[in-house]
């Protein structure tokens, strides 16, 4: 660090040596400091701009992923509705066709459940040894360890076999506690039984009606045997081992929820409102990218239209390359028979802003007049569809280690280099200040001494003159 310029410096010469030193140092520093400050401002703004681009593109990718979800389809060409969702719910895929179907459910597919003999309580001891659970003719063996209790056996079964569709719990009533085993498998033949240290015959009901409370100490099936679902579609009788029906009607999937002869009408219609909402989400996600890039690149203009303040990425080619990348898929022709370009759905590019405009009136006409509903899903989410092409277009920018990451790394290196340059300049300034301060202080001291000598000589001559006058 530079030696401080002491108060009172310049007393010998009468000059403000501190101000002189500061002026000399500043004149030497100003050019480099201006360069560092300008580059630091540009680098900081660029880092912020690239960070914004990363965030915007990540949000865009998330939106594309959600719109292209296979589990919750957003572009289904047809929508299925049920007149009674307590009886049947239905979903459709792109191969569905318009129509209605009367579903009558005689009974639901059920699973088996069996109970052990009565134990005193959940902490009752269970004999050590093998416990074999048989489900759908497949054996699952559990080695019951020494010191096991009814509760620990339940926990072991759940830990080891829940992934196989077997679950266990303990039910306690006035007679005591029982280990109850159930299965997620439904349909006739999915009986469950237990043998070994604990025997439960799944094909035997308790004494009396199977729905009655179990009579101690016996063990066996609770309720009725596992059965298939029985239902009809427009009068055609069918059965299923599960309550989810995927192959009864082409393009439709049913979930049976209530039996006893309950009926519901399932109607399939063009999914105009759903498709419109999904397309609007796509347009909004795309426009968010265009808007953000505009904010990052367009400078502030004065009243004459001349730029006054640059934006974070004004003049940077990166944002323009991103825009070009996401605009490319919009102009490519789709593989559909009737739907090949976005303009057919009322989606066009605004020539002034570059954003997408969505004409919902034209879209509705396309759905009703040209019957394009069945092709929209394939256009957006099919193999090589628009969403897939969009994702491929931005992956080179968003993928770890690619364009945006590389730009961020380089900018951070520039920022670190500027910090080093600033530190070097500060050291130079400190050294120069110390050197000049010493020189001017030495000069000031010498001038002071010379002034003192001159004063002494003057005093001597004045004294000599006075003596001559008095003699």
- Residue carrying structure tokens 């400078």: 299
Helix pair angle (386-398, 17-67), 10° resolution = 150
Environment class of residue 267 by beta-carbon count within 10 Å: exposed (0-12), middle (13-18) or buried (19+)?
middle
Instruction: Spell out the domain ranges in the chain.
Output: 16-76+272-438, 78-108+228-270, 113-221
Q: Running DSSP on this structure, what letter comes out for residue 345?
A: G
pLDDT in tens, the chain (471 residues): 444 444 444 555 667 778 888 888 888 888 998 999 899 998 888 899 889 999 999 999 999 999 988 778 788 878 889 999 999 999 887 677 888 999 999 999 988 888 888 888 888 888 888 888 888 888 899 898 998 899 999 999 999 988 888 899 998 888 888 888 888 888 887 888 888 877 665 544 433 334 344 555 667 777 777 889 999 999 999 999 999 999 899 889 999 999 999 999 999 988 888 889 999 999 999 999 999 998 888 887 767 667 777 788 888 899 999 999 999 999 888 766 778 889 989 999 998 899 999 998 888 888 877 777 677 888 888 888 899 999 999 999 988 888 989 999 999 999 999 999 999 999 998 888 888 888 887 887 787 777 777 777 888 777 777 777 776
Q: If you write DSSP's letter for every residue of 155-193 in order, what string do you get?
A: HHHHHHHGGGTEEEEEEEETTEEEEEEEES--STT--EE
Q: Is 369 left (phi over 0), alpha (psi -120 to 50) or beta?
A: alpha
């Amino acid at each position: 660090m530079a030696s401080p310029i002491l108060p009172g410096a310049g007393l010998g010469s009468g000059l403000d040596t501190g101000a002189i030193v500061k002026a000399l140092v500043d004149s030497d520093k100003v050019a480099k400091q201006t360069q560092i400050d300008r580059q630091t401002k540009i680098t900081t703004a660029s880092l912020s701009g690239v960070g914004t681009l990363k965030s915007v593109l990540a949000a865009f990718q998330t939106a594309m992923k959600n719109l292209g979800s296979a589990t919750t389809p957003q572009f289904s060409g047809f929508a299925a509705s049920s007149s009674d969702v307590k009886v049947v719910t239905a979903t459709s895929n792109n191969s569905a066709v318009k129509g209605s179907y009367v579903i009558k459910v005689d009974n639901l597919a059920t699973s088996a459940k069996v109970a052990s003999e009565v134990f005193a309580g959940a902490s009752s001891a269970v004999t050590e040894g093998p416990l074999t659970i048989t489900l759908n003719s497949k054996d699952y063996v559990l080695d019951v360890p020494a010191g096991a209790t009814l509760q620990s056996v339940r926990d072991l079964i759940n830990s080891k076999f829940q992934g196989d569709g077997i679950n266990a719990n303990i039910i306690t009533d006035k007679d005591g506690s029982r280990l109850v085993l159930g299965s997620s498998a439904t349909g006739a033949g999915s009986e469950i039984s237990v043998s070994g240290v604990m025997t439960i015959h799944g094909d035997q009901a308790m004494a009396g009606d199977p729905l009655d409370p179990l009579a101690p100490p016996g063990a066996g099936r609770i309720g009725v045997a596992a059965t298939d679902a029985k239902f009809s579609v427009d009068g055609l009788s069918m059965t299923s081992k599960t309550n989810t029906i995927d192959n009864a009607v082409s393009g439709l999937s049913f979930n049976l929820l209530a039996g006893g002869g309950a009926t519901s009408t399932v109607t399939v219609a063009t999914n105009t409102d759903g498709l419109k909402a999904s397309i609007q989400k796509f347009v909004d996600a795309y426009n968010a990218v265009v808007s953000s890039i505009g904010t990052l690149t367009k400078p502030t203009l004065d009243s004459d239209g001349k730029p006054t303040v640059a934006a974070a990425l004004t003049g940077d080619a990166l944002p323009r390359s991103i825009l070009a990348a996401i605009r490319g898929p919009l102009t490519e022709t789709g593989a559909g028979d009737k739907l090949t370009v976005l303009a057919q759905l009322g989606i066009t590019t605004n020539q002034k802003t570059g954003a997408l405009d969505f004409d919902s009136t034209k879209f509705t006409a396309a759905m009703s007049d040209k019957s394009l509903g069945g092709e929209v899903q394939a256009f957006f989410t099919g193999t090589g569809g628009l969403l897939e092409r969009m994702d491929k277009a931005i992956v080179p920018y968003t993928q770890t280690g690619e364009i945006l990451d590389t730009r961020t790394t380089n900018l951070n290196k520039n920022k670190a280099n500027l910090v080093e340059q600033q530190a070097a300049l500060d050291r130079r300034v400190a050294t120069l200040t110390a050197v000049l301060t010493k020189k001017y202080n030495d000069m000031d001291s010498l001038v002071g001494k010379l002034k003192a000598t001159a004063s002494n000589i003057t005093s001597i001559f004045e004294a000599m003159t006075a003596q001559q006058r008095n003699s």
